[in-house]
Amino acid sequence: MRMASVPLVGLWFGFLALPISGPRGALGIGIACAVCILIVKILQAALKAGPIAERAARLQASVTRGWEHSEEIIRNKKFAPIFLLCLLLLPWMLDQYSTDVLVVTGIYVMLALGLNVVVGFAGLLDLGYVAFYAVGAYTYALLNAWIGLSFWPSLVAGGALSMVFGILLGIPVLRLRGDYLAIVTLGFGEIIRLVLNNWDNLTNGPNGILITGRPFIGTQKLYQPMHFFYLVVVLCFITMFIVGRLNRSRLGRAWAALREDETAAECMGINITYTKLTAFAFGATWAGVAGVVFAAKQTFVSPESFNFFESVIILCMVVLGGMGSIPGVILGALVLTVLPEALRDLTLYRPMILGGSMVLMMVLRPQGFIKISGQRLSVDEARLHESASEEGGA
Amino acid sequence: MSGVRLLECAGLTKRFDGVVALNSLDFEVNKGEILGMIGPNGAGKTTAFNVITGMFPPTGGDVRLGGESIVGLKPDAVVRCGITRTFQNIRLFRGMSVLENVLVGRHSKLKTGPIGAVLRTSGVLEEERAAVDFALGLMRFAGIVPHPTARAGALSYGDQRRLEIARALASEPRLILLDEPAAGMNPREKSELNELILAIRERGVTVLLIEHDMKVVMGISDRIVVIDHGEKIAQGAPADVRRDPMVLEAYLGASYA
């Protein structure tokens, strides 16, 4: 774009704004756009040459290095006990409100880890993931209301029923890829929400269902944020463990192959139907479990908790954190729940800052916070290096 | 060379709307041979591969492997029957490592399910260890030098072709279909490829080879089948096929025949 085109751009934006803001507003917007572009152009020119450019390059290099360094620390097993200790002590150092935020974070970590199976591992874009979350929450609420089923059996029932729903969604979309799959899953998510909203006899419609009674561990009633914090931490670790092991196995390799090239995967002996359905099933299960925990924490469920925006946020956590990377996805969930809380004082600008930081992130680091690393193997990688060096020696 | 029939295609026909890609194609592959399949561009060679491997069903005709019909089976079931393939335009899992690619090829020989993957019983670990050793052995066999953890998409062109072959061999097939493996290779790589294909036969794997490079295909094939317009126009030993007037006409035009 040449300098001469700057007034033209201003004119164009002014023209676009004309019907909305009237002639005076349009003039202002046009001039503002032109000035902004001019400033950007000048900055670009300044950055291209001279010491500023050098300094910017150096800054970028050091940021990348720092990032990689912190990645190493996250991966280093030596630091794991320290992390764990800090994590377990957190609720003692924070007030109730902050602990409650952490509980919500934990629920989102489970959701993001579950969606990561579908989107990150198997590459199936699911825009209706929140439906399984709703299935879990309503399973608990309804079973509790009908037969007084307590929390723990509901946790299993919620996970299992969500798994069934995952397979039910999976069957009709087996043949769909990419955009088409995304649209169907989007529809599925909305269908579940609308059914919950309108089937008054079953779900009490928009008024929701109140859950009487609290979960117990032994004789200890779980009702404080701190209790739920420990519950959620344990469940997150179980999720991480299972999802991580699934990924580093024959099934995980099949998911990855499916994501890379479905046709080639099928020609290598992978049963596409089974592989896709297991991805949907395992993804949905964790959403169901998270839903039961959410319902228990809130003691109330209503359809408005399960709108499309929730699906989008969970997807953002996966993409921002790094598709397919378990530590990445956890970090993504952490950032996207804690950041809005931290920005609470700037309510007005919150969506803008969030949106802006997402755009920036995708431009600067499209692979997400943390990249996938390591081999999808159940056995130790060290063997590979041994055999390679043997070969080199021989 | 006449031996035990491994693969038989009888009256194989494939129509895409109005286009006849395969028109009652008959040919057979004998156990232990290297059969070359040649023909001008668009003759239907790759379509024949796609139909044999179950990527799409034939409009008519039959494909028998060891006497049993495999028509109507899905590609993954065909692999379990013992046929694997490589692709004309390389289709590796580019984002995965070299080792992972070969292990995906081994998928059908492994049994671990989701529960085993989570529990990691000693049986599961044993299976994984054996699979890794097998895959590393295959990589050595195919002459893939880069480290097993290297990203497949980052390999050189020749290595990518070799990796595709290693990945296809990982399921221990009875028959391997190679779709233009020499395309884009330099003369040295081509002669290495010749050695590799001969070595594949030594392993007891029968080879069906589509190839445009006449040096490669004439040099190593036991027999050659020539296809044009979806029909077989000639078959026989390389030296005979080379002189066949039908073949000359298909390749060079009627005036040369």
Q: Is B126 on the interface with A (CB under 8 A)?
A: no
Q: What is the DSSP letter of A119?
A: I
| Measured distance CA(B223)–CA(B33) in Å, rounded | 8
The alpha-carbon radius of gyration of chain A (Å, integer) is 25
* Record: contact B93-A261, CB cut-off 8 A: yes
In terms of phi and psi (left: phi > 0; alpha: psi -120 to 50; beta: otherwise), the region of B133 is alpha
Torsion of CA B196, B197, B200, B202, to 10 degrees: -100
Residue B69 included in any domain: yes
pLDDT tens-digit map of A107-136: 999 999 999 999 999 999 999 999 999 999
CA B124 to each of CA A140, A247, B112, B128, B172: distance values in angstroms, whole numbers, following the listed order: 35, 14, 6, 6, 20
Q: Is B243 on the interface with A (CB under 8 A)?
A: no
Nearest-CA distance from A158 to chain B in Å? 19
Residue spans of alpha helices (H) in A172-249: 178-198, 200-203, 225-247
Q: Are residues B155 and B178 in the same domain?
A: no
Chain B residues in contact with A391 by the CB 8 A cut-off are 140
DSSP letter for each residue of A234-275: HHHHHHHHHHHHHHTSHHHHHHHHHHH-HHHHHHTT--HHHH
Chain A residues in contact with B87 by the CB 8 A cut-off are 264, 267
Q: Are B182 and B193 in contact (CB under 8 A)?
A: yes
Mean pLDDT of all residues in chain B? 92
Residue B87 included in any domain: no
| Measured distance CA(A350)–CA(A355) in Å, rounded | 8
- Which among A103, A129, A134, A101 has a CA at the least distance from the CA of A116? A129
Q: Are residues B217 and B248 in the same domain?
A: yes
Split at pLDDT 50, 70, 90, the class of A377 is confident
Q: What is the DSSP letter of A211?
A: P
Chain A residues in contact with B160 by the CB 8 A cut-off are none
| Measured distance CA(A96)–CA(B72) in Å, rounded | 62
Chain A residues in contact with B113 by the CB 8 A cut-off are 251
| Measured distance CA(A106)–CA(A242) in Å, rounded | 16
Q: How many domains does chain B have?
A: 2
Chain B interface disruption, residue of A259, A267, A378, A387, most B CBs within 10 A: A267
Burial, B41: exposed, middle or buried (Cβ in 10 Å; 0-12, 13-18, 19+)? exposed
| Measured distance CA(A331)–CA(A343) in Å, rounded | 18
* Record: contact A253-B74, CB cut-off 8 A: no
Q: What percent of chain B has pLDDT over 70?
A: 98
Nearest-CA distance from A132 to chain B in Å? 20
Q: Are residues B155 and B205 in the same domain?
A: no
Nearest-CA distance from B175 to chain A in Å? 13
Q: What is the pTM of this model?
A: 0.87
pLDDT of residue B133: 94
pLDDT tens-digit map of A71-117: 777 777 788 888 888 888 888 888 989 999 999 999 999 999 999 99
Most confidently modeled of A20-29, A55-64, A214-223, B85-94? B85-94
Domain boundary (B129, B149, B171) is at: B171
Q: Are residues B201 and B211 in the same domain?
A: yes
CA angle B157, B85, B71 (to 5 degrees): 155
Q: Is the pLDDT of residue B172 over 90?
A: yes
pLDDT tens-digit map of A323-369: 999 999 999 999 999 888 888 787 777 777 778 877 887 777 778 88
Q: Is the pLDDT of residue B71 over 60?
A: yes
Q: Are residues B143 and B251 in the same domain?
A: no
The alpha-carbon radius of gyration of chain B (Å, integer) is 19
Q: Is the pLDDT of residue B151 over 80?
A: yes
Domain boundary (B121, B153, B171) is at: B171
Q: Are residues B192 and B182 in the same domain?
A: yes
Q: Are residues B2 and B70 in the same domain?
A: yes
Q: Is B203 on the interface with A (CB under 8 A)?
A: no
Q: Are residues B251 and B178 in the same domain?
A: yes
Residue spans of alpha helices (H) in chain B: 45-52, 75-81, 98-105, 114-119, 122-142, 157-169, 187-202, 214-220, 238-243, 245-252
| Measured distance CA(A12)–CA(B199) in Å, rounded | 67
Return the SS3 of B66.
coil
Q: Are residues B78 and B178 in the same domain?
A: yes
Q: Are residues B60 and B6 in the same domain?
A: yes
Q: Is A238 on the interface with B (CB under 8 A)?
A: no
Among A215-219, A278-282, B73-77, the minimum mean pLDDT is found in A215-219
Among A102-116, A155-169, A314-328, the minimum mean pLDDT is found in A314-328
Domain boundary (B110, B139, B171) is at: B171
Closest CB to B100 among A263, A375, A383: A375
For helices B98-105 and B122-142, angle between their N-to-C axes, nearest 10 degrees: 110
* Record: contact A379-B136, CB cut-off 8 A: no
| Measured distance CA(A29)–CA(A18) in Å, rounded | 9
CB atoms within 10 A of CB A240: 17
Return the SS3 of B59.
coil
Q: Is A253 on the interface with B (CB under 8 A)?
A: yes
Q: Are residues B14 and B120 in the same domain?
A: no
| Measured distance CA(B15)–CA(B10) in Å, rounded | 16
Residue B208 included in any domain: yes
Q: Is A267 on the interface with B (CB under 8 A)?
A: yes
Q: Is A270 on the interface with B (CB under 8 A)?
A: yes
Amino acid identity at A148: G
Mean pLDDT within A275-288: 96
Nearest-CA distance from A383 to chain B in Å? 9
Q: What percent of chain A has pLDDT over 70?
A: 95
**In terms of CA atoms, which chain A residue is nearest residue B82?**
A269
* Record: contact B76-A270, CB cut-off 8 A: yes
Chain B residues in contact with A388 by the CB 8 A cut-off are 147-148
CATH number at residue B217: 3.40.50.300
Burial, B6: exposed, middle or buried (Cβ in 10 Å; 0-12, 13-18, 19+)? buried
pLDDT tens-digit map of B84-106: 999 999 999 999 999 999 999 99
Nearest-CA distance from A254 to chain B in Å? 7
Q: Is A272 on the interface with B (CB under 8 A)?
A: yes
Interface pTM, i.e. ipTM: 0.93
Expressed as residue numbers, the domain containing B167 is 92-171
Closest CB to A268 among B55, B95, B167: B167
* Record: contact A251-B114, CB cut-off 8 A: yes
Beta-bridged to residue B10, according to DSSP, are B62
Q: Is the pLDDT of residue A394 over 60?
A: no
Closest CB to B93 among A264, A384, A387: A264
Residues in chain A, how many?
394
Q: Are residues B73 and B55 in the same domain?
A: yes
**In terms of CA atoms, which chain B residue is nearest residue A376?**
B100
Q: Is B183 on the interface with A (CB under 8 A)?
A: no
* Record: contact B117-A376, CB cut-off 8 A: no
pLDDT of residue A198: 95
Split at pLDDT 50, 70, 90, the class of A179 is confident
